[in-house]
């Protein structure tokens, strides 16, 4: 599912839960909400017990204000300031952890605080997008997998910096600056007669899942909206709804153009899979320590994943 621009997200004060998230919450759930916004208030309308952890007192006060007098007196949400990486071990275990900040990966603390069969829903950085990914153990092998629930293109922005867990939402993130073009960017033509512009975010997510050199990139000459580009050194090939652009006519850039064109053809041949058909493995890198994030890798549309919910 791709969410159109301007659609509600869980970090908007007045918004109800989006459909993809509401479908994950069960009436008896014990829920931990992590990050900015007042999603905990909407979660409390569906779940049995909701606690939340925020990085600032202002975020906690926003939750309490949204509860109103009746919600505060009923202790509908237990909101506290704390370390987002650490979660809330004092109230664990949880059936569902909902993260409302774009993250590079999944904190091992969140996984430690899950009840058996519990899952995490988080917007995980992927090529400048932050698709909402449901992460949990596979029914067959018990290993962690993720499947995309939805993608909101308005969340496009650079991933958290190295050493950071998350990017604050819903403040818009500026697209990363691609390599400076030595000449005006060159338009190479449309993607394909079969391509529909409304499928652009699906293509973007798929490209980023195939090659981690794709990133968010602005291209003023093609419009104000951020898009994606394959970037290597000082060369960039931009994939936009109106077609493919390249930063210059240098040999390395032309080679990258051939790579990008081949990726686009593969997506079209595979019948233009949607972002919510994508799944991934979620694990620590081989050399990671016990406190490092579980990251998403091996993105594909060819692996069905049977998660707890």
Domain residue extents for the chain = 19-170+276-300, 186-269
CA angle 297, 303, 304 (to 5 degrees): 120
Provide the edge-to-edge strand list for the sheet that holds 144-150.
77-81, 49-54, 30-34, 94-99, 114-123, 132-137, 144-150, 279-283, 295-300
Distance CA(195)–CA(217), nearest Å, equals 21
Neighbouring residues of 68: CB distance < 8 A, sequence distance ≥ 6: none
Q: CB of 39 within 8 A of CB of 20?
A: no
Q: pLDDT per position in the chain (309 positions), as tens?
A: 433 333 333 333 334 788 999 999 999 999 999 999 999 999 999 999 999 999 999 999 999 999 888 777 678 899 999 999 999 999 999 999 999 988 999 999 999 999 999 999 999 999 999 999 999 998 888 899 999 999 988 777 776 666 667 654 434 445 556 655 555 678 888 899 999 999 999 999 999 999 999 999 877 665 667 899 999 988 999 999 999 999 999 999 999 999 999 999 999 999 999 999 999 999 988 887 888 899 999 999 998 888 888
- What superfamily does domain 19-170+276-300 belong to in CATH? Vaccinia Virus protein VP39 (3.40.50.150)
Contact call for residues 154 and 130 (beta carbons, < 8 A): no
Q: Which DSSP string do the residues of 229-265 spell out, in sequence order?
A: EEEETTEEEEEETTEEEES---HHHHHHHHHHHHHHH
Structure token digits, residue 309: 């919910």
**What pTM was computed for the model?**
0.87
């Amino acid at each position: 599912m791709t969410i159109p621009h301007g659609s509600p997200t869980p970090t908007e004060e007045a918004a109800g839960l989006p459909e993809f998230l509401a479908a994950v919450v069960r009436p008896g759930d014990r829920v931990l909400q992590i990050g900015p916004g007042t999603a905990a208030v909407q979660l409390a309308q569906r779940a049995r017990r909701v606690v939340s952890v925020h990085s600032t007192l202002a975020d906690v006060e926003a939750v309490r204000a949204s509860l109103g007098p009746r919600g505060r007196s009923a202790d509908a949400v237990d909101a506290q300031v704390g370390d987002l990486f650490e979660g809330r071990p004092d109230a664990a275990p949880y059936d569902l952890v909902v993260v409302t900040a774009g993250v590079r990966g999944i904190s091992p603390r969140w996984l430690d605080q899950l009840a058996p069969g519990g899952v995490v829903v988080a917007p995980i950085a992927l090529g400048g997008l932050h698709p909402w990914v449901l992460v949990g153990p596979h029914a067959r092998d018990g290993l962690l997998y993720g499947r995309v629930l939805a993608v909101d293109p308005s969340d496009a922005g650079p991933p958290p910096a190295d050493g950071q867990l998350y990017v604050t939402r819903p403040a818009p993130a500026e697209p990363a600056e691609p390599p400076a073009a030595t000449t005006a960017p060159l338009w190479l033509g449309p993607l394909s007669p079969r391509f529909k512009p409304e499928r652009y975010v699906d293509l973007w997510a798929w490209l980023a899942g195939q090659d981690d050199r794709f990133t968010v990139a602005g291209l003023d000459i093609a419009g104000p909206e951020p898009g994606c580009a394959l970037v290597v050194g000082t060369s960039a090939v931009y994939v936009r709804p109106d077609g493919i652009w390249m930063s210059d006519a240098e040999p390395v850039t032309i080679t990258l153009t051939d790579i990008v064109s081949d990726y686009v053809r593969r997506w079209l041949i595979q019948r233009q899979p949607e972002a919510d058909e994508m799944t991934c493995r979620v694990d620590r890198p081989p050399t990671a320590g016990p406190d490092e994030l579980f990251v998403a890798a091996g993105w594909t549309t060819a692996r069905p994943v049977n998660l707890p919910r």
